[in-house]
Amino acid sequence: MTAVGAAAGPGPRPAPVAAAAPASAPTAREAAVEPFWAEEFSGRSGRRPDARVWTSEVGNRRQQGWWNNELQYYTRVDVRARLPTGRGLLPAIWMLGDNGRTWPRQGEIDVVEVVGGEPRTAYGTAHGPGYANEDGLGGTVGLGGRASARFHLYSVVKEPRRITWLVDDEPYFTLTPQDLPAGRAWVFEQDMHLLLNVAVGGDWPGRPGRATRFPATMAVDHVRMYGTGVVDGVRVTSPR
């Protein structure tokens, strides 16, 4: 297990706009029996993530841009995590496209965000040209308690021209090109990379309050990727 600490700078957007009914896509890991890549974070508590795999940064993602060295064109990504809650906090597990375009043409898939004022709600959102920031397309699901109270499994199933969001293996939102605003491009058929961060402040979560507890950490039990991706420059596929 590892923990991701709070990072300064403005958080992401106001609430996304719903665009599709709950999903009927696969809930099981149908593409493969085992992940093609996994990080189990099995070291001692408090140990920093493996620098050969993860890049740790503190700063403003809008000014600097955040990247890592792994590319994924996977069928499914799972992250089991306990997310911090509190006014002014915005933990996020998300993916950015590697098409070389500027955001939002770059494409972004938010696997999960939990905004400080709504500690019991998970947001899953997609951002692209003409549907970004407050116009992002996504859905929400109740967690049955504060996101900081226990671990949940946050997942995205990424199929050709279809994205499905899940919490604890239950799908709650699906997006297809037919759900986009008229004339807008679907930008998700590409390699993407995964990011995990905790933002502090910004328009959506607001300023931290006196009751907000620091340090605010995202505890991550594991990250697993199924399907196909690029690891150390080599394209690999999950064993079946």
Catalytic residues: 108, 113
Contact yes or no for 127/17 (Cβ under 8 A): no
Query: What CA–CA distance (Å, rounded) separates 112 from 98?
Result: 20
Helix ranges, the chain (H): 61-64
Report residue 75 as tokens.
């069928």
Contact yes or no for 133/127 (Cβ under 8 A): yes
Query: What CA–CA distance (Å, rounded) separates 56 from 48?
Result: 9
CA distances from 108 to 1, 144, 145, 219 (A): 26, 27, 27, 23
Instruction: Give the other-Cβ count within 10 Å of 237's Cβ.
Output: 14
